[in-house]
């Protein structure tokens, strides 16, 4: 495995941990804000440097040099590959911009120290590949929102029940996987349990209620940062996708598609902006899991691209909505709030980020959605049709919310509601990325396609192997060959590069080459 | 410079001019440094003039060289060669797109000059021209699109700007609700269009109109689809066109769209936007030819729309509403002409109708003045429609009056049979979720309930 020139990943995580401690010692909210900006800015620089270093290395996978855990565990813990390289940078960017857009008035509710702690956990999660490590970090990642709910004295039973279920399933799944590092031959029960855990974390219906509950009770910033980077999807790619037989993927995909349709409908009948945003997010983010099951490289590439674009645009949309909320409190969608006269720029940004989040042409989300639909139609035409319906409904919901928030008789206010420079900078950066990605999508498309091919290879390698010795007979033998042929493949021998059509056939046929 | 290079340069100029306009107006708006009224009008006039001159130059060159099909390839927007996935950015000048493009630019130029004075010192002046720039760019892209995805890009931009301009006077609820309704219909039509695009892409392995329509430029192309495939994709395209052009059962949105400022009503619903659906049908006419069932459905839809709009238009109490239905009557006839297999006649009909209707709509605010001038000139009052009284009995006339006055109850039907059940179902789910989270939380779980007003969504409608 190639080595990065500098331990960027460890450094990014370390900076966030130290920043969190330093931030906790700050005496004023303004000092805490400044420190968090410095720490998250440095972490962002490190992740960007890691990405650049990785690209310059030209490797498929690279690890941090001088990593102490490598000696203890026998394998490097923090690595970067085609899948995780942009995700780490994106996560760091989202944290930095959210901290930047947090006004002093909100600093007492939104804990910067906790935000940095969450960032450290998330960056470590995205830098891990080993299923047990990903599971452990995903479980730890549920703690900071709980602490916030507890500190604010908000109801937390819904969150705790779901987080408990998630952690329980993760523990059970990892326990069934066997000892750490032996992920090559997992039992089917373990994969099913882990898939269920991923479904809970991703808010797949009927396990989505924790998400709406979190948006109800936590601060908008915390809720946004907990869901927007979509760590559940990352868990699916690391713990489920490489090993799962097609029926598990189909089950996850069908549930995600149903969630996408359901949440799109629910977004349209919400009377409050946060809940609307939550359902919109749920609907669009569910499409990422739908794309993974299409099992065509183009569909998976579309899903991966959509993952980045959704995270980017939905965070932009969320931050815009947070700006609105910080001016007028919880926003009712039953009334016309008439904010346009005060904040026309915010209205434009709301529209751009909102439409980008539903894949409007000319924005970053369009190509991803197009690829996803293309891949889905090749696998199951009805899936493609439903994805289009979801996109149409979400577009409807965004404009509905826009009209409710910004139109109507001008909102009466005795104070200046105009956008503050920090808020403007945060949302404009995201808008520039959204429009830039829409105008020149090839950069992301090429990278995501290579990541999808790498995932397909990993999946081919693992699904060609019978899932478990005890389940060997349940899986057909490739090419009508003997079990011996199959066993020869189970030793993770180099996989020949096959045409895309063959890879599709492999993935769609339950392991038959 | 070779002729091909000249074509490319002029083609790029046609597309780039509206793009630059959008970039300038949008960029200054996002930078919170909006242009002055005069600067905005000058930019708009310059960009439209530049694009128009280039378009006329392309037409002249085409006539001079005898070219009937001039593709301008701008490369792949996105591609995955291993998967044969290409998102071509191709613009095509042919006998369909070039006249429609020139019409678009002429009418947009005229309307923007009119709007500069009409909206002078209006607080929404900048907002209007921003939406207008989006519309212009969308129309140019949709008109010249050489691939179905490119057409979709333009199509969506036109829809968005249209909905925003209907809701232009957004201090009042009525224009906003109408804008929202129009957006709903457009989203439905967009979904049908995108599905049709995906189906065509899937069966013909290409999204380019050139590849899709086989050999020969418009209108001689032969689609490389079977009759069944053509029927499936064609019906989806027909739904898309019906939504965009306000054909039955989506006719209700057209008079509602007149809530917007007069210049946008003129250029959108009298002239260009309302013809975009029929333009799409003309563009994919080789697909329509493959299926007699599809052709018949197109004719039936067009004639039914024309008959309905003719009746409804006669009982409208406001001039813009009457003009909207008059537009719809002609659009219905144009659709029927396309279904009958005609190609040049619908194109000429579209161009003529768009010019006439733009003039009428721009004159609409001074209609009473015009009437008085006419009455003064003829020395008598202008009479109403008396012909129908000779042909129809009183009960039938009343029935038709009711039908027209209630606009065929098309909107009510869509509300009652599509929107209301949808909303009811999801509101029920919402209640179930509330009960479930209340049960899990052991207390009232929704903090947001304390903040929202009691009026349910859509009550104002």
For the segment B361-395, what is each residue's pLDDT rounded down to a tens digit?
A: 888 888 878 888 888 888 887 766 566 567 778 88
Predicted confidence at residue A399, as pLDDT, reads 95
pLDDT for B54 beyond 60: yes
pLDDT tens digits for range A273-290: 999 999 999 999 899 888
Q: Using the 8-state DSSP alphabet, how is residue A75 labeled?
A: S
pLDDT for A468 beyond 50: no
Q: How many residue pairs from chains A and B have C-beta atoms closer than 8 A? A: 180
Q: What is the side-by-side strand order in the sheet with A61-63?
A: A2-3, A61-63, A79-81
Is B424 an interface residue toward A (CB < 8 Å)? no
What is the spatial distance between Cα B289 and Cα B194, in angstroms, rounded to a whole number? 21
Which pair of tokens denotes residue B52? 């128009």
Residue A463's pLDDT band (cuts 50, 70, 90): low
Residues in B touching A498 (Cβ below 8 Å): none
Predicted confidence at residue A487, as pLDDT, reads 32
B407-426 mean pLDDT: 91
* Percent of chain B whose predicted confidence (pLDDT) is above 90: 54
Average pLDDT, chain A: 83
What is the spatial distance between Cα A218 and Cα B302, in angstroms, rounded to a whole number? 54
Q: Classify residue A337 by burial, with Cβ atoms within 10 Å: 0-12, 13-18, 19+.
A: buried
Torsion angle in degrees (nearest 10) through CA of A254, A260, A263, A269: -120
What is the spatial distance between Cα B163 and Cα B182, in angstroms, rounded to a whole number? 6
What is the spatial distance between Cα B324 and Cα B270, in angstroms, rounded to a whole number? 7
B398-423 mean pLDDT: 89
Predicted confidence at residue A478, as pLDDT, reads 34
Torsion angle in degrees (nearest 10) through CA of A130, A132, A136, A138: 60
Residues in A touching B201 (Cβ below 8 Å): 374
pLDDT for A118 beyond 80: yes
pLDDT for A299 beyond 50: yes
pLDDT for A482 beyond 60: no
Question: Measured over all CA atoms, what is the biggest interatomic distance in chain B, rounded to whole angstroms?
Answer: 81
Among A388, A393, A419, the strongest candidate for a mutation testing the B interface, having the largest count of B CBs within 10 A, is: A388
Cβ–Cβ gap A340/B170 under 8 Å:
yes
Q: Which helix (H) or strand (E) holds A278?
A: helix A273-293
pLDDT for A228 beyond 80: yes
Residue of B331, B216, B326, B342 whose CA lies nearest to B289 = B342
What is the spatial distance between Cα B206 and Cα B225, in angstroms, rounded to a whole number? 12
What is the spatial distance between Cα B313 and Cα A493, in angstroms, rounded to a whole number? 74
Cβ atoms within 10 Å of A346's Cβ, excluding its own:
24
Cβ atoms within 10 Å of A300's Cβ, excluding its own:
29
Is B174 an interface residue toward A (CB < 8 Å)? no
Question: Among A209-223, A324-338, B89-103, B412-426, which stretch is predicted with the lowest mean pLDDT?
Answer: A324-338
* Bond prior to A238 in cis (omega within 30° of 0): no
Cβ–Cβ gap A212/B422 under 8 Å:
no
Both ends of chain B: CA-CA distance in Å? Answer: 60
Among B194, B432, B458, the strongest candidate for a mutation testing the A interface, having the largest count of A CBs within 10 A, is: B194
Predicted confidence at residue B214, as pLDDT, reads 58
Predicted confidence at residue B205, as pLDDT, reads 66
- Cα-Cα-Cα-Cα dihedral sign, residues A41, A17, A12, A304: negative
Which pair of tokens denotes residue A182? 């032996």
Predicted confidence at residue A38, as pLDDT, reads 96
Is B80 an interface residue toward A (CB < 8 Å)? yes
What angle (nearest 5°) sits at the alpha carbon of residue B289, between those of residues B288 and B290?
90
Q: Using the 8-state DSSP alphabet, how is residue A495 labeled?
A: P
Q: Which residue has the higher pLDDT, A146 or A382?
A: A146
Residue B452's pLDDT band (cuts 50, 70, 90): very low
Q: Which residues contact A257 (CB under 8 A, 6 or more apart)?
A: A286, A290, A383, A386, A387
Name the most confidently modeled range: A292-296, A338-342, B347-351: B347-351
Length of chain B: 461
pLDDT tens digits for range A170-196: 999 988 876 544 545 678 899 999 999
pLDDT for A493 beyond 90: no
Cβ–Cβ gap B448/A271 under 8 Å:
yes
B213-231 mean pLDDT: 77
A406 contacts A340 by C-beta, under 8 angstroms = yes
The CA R_g of chain B, rounded to the nearest whole Å, is: 24
Which pair of tokens denotes residue A158? 């819904």
Predicted confidence at residue A184, as pLDDT, reads 55
Predicted confidence at residue A461, as pLDDT, reads 64
Counting runs of H as helices and runs of E as strands, what totals does chain A give? Answer: 22, 3
Predicted confidence at residue A270, as pLDDT, reads 93
Angstrom CA distances, A449 to A128, B85, B424, stand at 21, 11, 41
What is the spatial distance between Cα A384 and Cα B195, in angstroms, rounded to a whole number? 8
pLDDT for A338 beyond 50: yes
B275 contacts B245 by C-beta, under 8 angstroms = yes
Predicted confidence at residue B459, as pLDDT, reads 35
Among B33, B148, B169, B187, the strongest candidate for a mutation testing the A interface, having the largest count of A CBs within 10 A, is: B187
Predicted confidence at residue B204, as pLDDT, reads 73
What is the spatial distance between Cα A502 and Cα A513, in angstroms, rounded to a whole number? 7
A210 contacts A163 by C-beta, under 8 angstroms = yes
pLDDT tens digits for range B273-314: 899 999 999 988 888 888 999 999 999 999 999 999 999 998
Residue A476's pLDDT band (cuts 50, 70, 90): very low
Predicted confidence at residue A22, as pLDDT, reads 94
Predicted confidence at residue B454, as pLDDT, reads 39
pLDDT tens digits for range A61-102: 888 887 677 677 777 788 888 888 899 999 999 999 999 998
Q: Which residues pair with B88 in a beta bridge?
A: B76
Q: Which residues contact B126 (CB under 8 A, 6 or more apart)?
A: B25, B29, B34, B35, B40
One DSSP character per residue, A464-500 reads: SS-S-GGGGGGSPPGGG--HHHHHHHHTTPPPPP--H
Cβ–Cβ gap B157/A361 under 8 Å:
yes
* Bond prior to A206 in cis (omega within 30° of 0): yes
The A residues from 242 to 301 touching B (CB cutoff 8 Å) are 262, 265-266, 268-272, 274-275, 296-298, 301
What is the spatial distance between Cα A273 and Cα A404, in angstroms, rounded to a whole number? 10
Is A414 an interface residue toward B (CB < 8 Å)? no
Nearest CA in chain A to B449: A272
Q: Which residues contact B200 (CB under 8 A, 6 or more apart)?
A: B148, B207, B212, B225, B233, B287
CA count, 13 A, side-chain hemisphere, A405: 32
What is the spatial distance between Cα B188 and Cα A431, in angstroms, rounded to a whole number? 27
Phi, psi of B88 (to 5 degrees): -70, 140
What is the spatial distance between Cα A85 and Cα A377, in angstroms, rounded to a whole number? 29
Which pair of tokens denotes residue A412? 């009466």
Cβ–Cβ gap A409/B427 under 8 Å:
no
Is A152 an interface residue toward B (CB < 8 Å)? no
Question: Among A37-46, A200-209, B210-219, B438-447, which stretch is predicted with the lowest mean pLDDT?
Answer: B210-219
Is B12 an interface residue toward A (CB < 8 Å)? no
pLDDT tens digits for range A3-61: 888 899 999 999 999 999 999 998 888 899 999 999 999 999 999 999 999 999 888 88
pLDDT for B150 beyond 90: no
- Residue carrying structure tokens 């940078």: A89
Beta strands in B310-401 (DSSP E): none
Angle, helix A209-217 to helix A157-177, in steps of 10 degrees? 130
Cβ–Cβ gap A391/B163 under 8 Å:
no
The CA R_g of chain A, rounded to the nearest whole Å, is: 22
Predicted confidence at residue B409, as pLDDT, reads 87
pLDDT for A491 beyond 60: no
Closest CB from A334, A381, A445 relative to B80: A445
pLDDT for B447 beyond 90: no
What angle (nearest 5°) sits at the alpha carbon of residue B426, between those of residues B425 and B432?
95
Q: Which helix (H) or strand (E) holds A406?
A: helix A381-406
Is B179 an interface residue toward A (CB < 8 Å)? yes
Among A370, A381, A423, A438, the strongest candidate for a mutation testing the B interface, having the largest count of B CBs within 10 A, is: A370
pLDDT for B3 beyond 60: yes
Phi, psi of B116 (to 5 degrees): -55, -40
pLDDT for A483 beyond 90: no
Is A161 an interface residue toward B (CB < 8 Å)? yes
Q: Which three-class secondary structure state does DSSP give residue B80? A: strand
Q: Which residue has the higher pLDDT, A276 or B406?
A: A276
B155-165 mean pLDDT: 92
What is the spatial distance between Cα B301 and Cα B322, in angstroms, rounded to a whole number? 21
Angstrom CA distances, A346 to A87, A321, B31, B164, stand at 27, 9, 12, 16
Predicted confidence at residue B316, as pLDDT, reads 87
């Amino acid at each position: 495995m190639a080595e990065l020139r500098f331990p960027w990943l460890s450094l990014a995580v370390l900076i966030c941990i130290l920043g969190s401690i330093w931030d906790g010692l700050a005496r004023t909210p303004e000092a805490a804000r400044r420190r968090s900006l410095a720490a998250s800015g440095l972490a962002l620089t490190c992740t960007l440097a890691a990405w650049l270093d990785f690209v310059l290395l030209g490797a498929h996978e690279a690890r941090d040099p001088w990593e102490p855990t490598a000696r203890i565990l026998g394998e490097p813990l923090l690595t970067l590959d085609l899948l995780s390289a942009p995700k780490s940078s994106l996560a760091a960017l989202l944290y930095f911009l959210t901290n930047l857009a947090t006004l002093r008035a909100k600093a007492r509710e939104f804990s910067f120290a906790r935000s940095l702690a969450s960032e450290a956990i998330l960056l470590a999660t995205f830098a891990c590949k080993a299923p047990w490590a990903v599971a452990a970090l995903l479980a730890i990642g549920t703690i900071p929102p709980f602490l916030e709910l507890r500190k604010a004295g908000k109801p937390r039973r819904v969150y705790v029940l779901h987080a408990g279920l998630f952690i329980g399933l993760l523990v059970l799944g990892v326990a069934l996987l066997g000892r750490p590092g032996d992920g090559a031959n997992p039992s089917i029960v373990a994969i099913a349990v882990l898939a269920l855990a991923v479904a809970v974390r991703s808010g797949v219906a009927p396990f989505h209620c924790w998400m709406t509950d979190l948006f109800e009770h936590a601060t908008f910033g915390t809720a946004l940062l907990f869901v927007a980077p979509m760590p559940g999807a990352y868990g699916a790619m690391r713990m489920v996708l490489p090993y799962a037989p097609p029926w598990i993927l189909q089950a996850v995909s069908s549930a995600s598609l149903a969630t996408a349709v359901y949440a799109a409908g629910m977004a349209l009948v919400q009377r409050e902006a946060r809940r609307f945003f939550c359902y919109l997010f749920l609907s669009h983010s569910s499409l990422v899991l739908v794309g993974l099951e299409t099992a065509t490289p183009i569909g998976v590439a579309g899903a991966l691209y959509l993952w980045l674009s959704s995270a980017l645009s939905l965070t932009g949309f969320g931050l815009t909505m947070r700006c609105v909320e910080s001016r007028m409190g919880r926003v009712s969608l039953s009334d016309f709030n008439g904010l346009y006269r005060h904040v026309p720029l915010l209205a434009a940004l709301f529209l751009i980020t909102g439409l980008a989040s539903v894949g409007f042409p000319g924005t970053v989300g369009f190509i991803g959605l197009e690829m996803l639909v293309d891949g889905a139609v090749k696998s199951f035409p009805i899936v493609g049709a439903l994805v289009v319906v979801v996109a149409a409904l979400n577009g409807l919901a965004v404009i509905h919310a826009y009209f409710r928030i910004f139109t109507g008789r001008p909102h009466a206010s005795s104070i200046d509601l105009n956008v503050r420079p920090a808020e403007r900078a945060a949302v404009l950066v995201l808008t520039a990325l959204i429009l830039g990605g829409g105008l020149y999508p090839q950069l992301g498309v090429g990278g995501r396609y290579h990541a999808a091919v790498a995932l397909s290879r990993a999946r081919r390698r693992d699904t060609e192997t019978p899932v478990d010795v005890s389940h060997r007979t349940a899986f057909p033998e490739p090419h009508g060959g003997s079990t011996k042929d199959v066993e020869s493949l189970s030793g993770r021998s180099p996989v020949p590069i096959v045409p895309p059509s063959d890879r599709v056939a492999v993935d769609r046929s339950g392991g038959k080459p | 410079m070779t002729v091909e290079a000249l074509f490319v340069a002029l083609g790029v100029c046609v597309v780039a001019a509206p793009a630059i306009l959008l970039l300038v107006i949008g960029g200054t708006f996002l930078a919170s440094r909006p242009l002055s009224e005069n600067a905005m009008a000058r930019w708009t006039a310059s960009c439209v003039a530049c694009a128009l001159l280039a378009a006329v130059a392309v037409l002249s060159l085409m006539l001079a060289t005898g070219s009937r099909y001039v593709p301008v390839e701008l490369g792949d927007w996105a591609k995955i060669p291993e998967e044969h996935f290409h998102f071509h950015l191709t613009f095509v000048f042919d006998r369909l797109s070039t006249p429609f493009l020139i019409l678009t630019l002429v009418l947009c130029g005229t309307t923007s000059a009119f709007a500069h004075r009409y909206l002078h010192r209006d607080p929404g002046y900048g907002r209007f021209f921003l939406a207008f720039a989006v519309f212009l760019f969308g129309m140019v892209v949709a008109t010249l699109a050489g691939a179905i995805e490119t057409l979709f890009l333009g199509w969506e931009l036109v829809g968005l700007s249209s909905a925003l301009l209907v809701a232009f006077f957004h201090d009042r609820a009525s224009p906003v609700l109408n804008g929202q309704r129009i957006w709903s219909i457009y989203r439905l039509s967009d979904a049908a269009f995108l599905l049709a695009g995906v189906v065509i892409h899937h069966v013909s392995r290409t999204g380019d109109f050139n590849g899709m329509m086989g050999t020969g430029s418009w209108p001689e192309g032969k689609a490389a689809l079977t009759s069944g495939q053509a029927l499936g994709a064609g019906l989806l395209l027909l739904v898309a066109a019906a939504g965009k052009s306000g054909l039955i059962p989506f006719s209700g949105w057209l008079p509602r769209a007149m809530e917007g400022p007069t210049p946008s009503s003129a250029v959108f619903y009298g002239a260009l936007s309302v013809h975009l659906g029929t333009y799409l049908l003309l563009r994919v006419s080789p697909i329509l030819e493959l299926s007699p069932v599809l052709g018949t459905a197109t004719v039936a839809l067009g004639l039914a729309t024309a008959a309905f709009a003719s009746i409804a238009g006669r009982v409208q109490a406001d001039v813009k509403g009457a003009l909207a239905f008059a537009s719809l009557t002609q659009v219905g006839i144009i659709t029927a002409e396309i279904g009958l297999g005609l190609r040049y006649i619908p194109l000429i009909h579209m161009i003529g109708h768009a010019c006439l209707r733009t003039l009428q709509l721009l004159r609409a605010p001074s209609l009473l003045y015009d009437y008085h001038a006419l009455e003064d000139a003829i020395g008598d009052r202008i009479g109403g429609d008396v012909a129908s009284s000779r042909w129809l009995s009183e009960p039938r006339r009343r029935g038709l009056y009711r039908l027209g006055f209630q606009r065929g109850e098309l909107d009510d039907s869509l509300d009652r049979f599509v929107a209301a059940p949808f909303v009811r179902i999801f509101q029920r789910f919402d209640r179930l979720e509330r009960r479930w989270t209340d049960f899990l939380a052991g207390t009232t779980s929704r903090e947001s309930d304390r903040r929202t007003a009691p009026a349910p969504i859509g009550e104002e409608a």
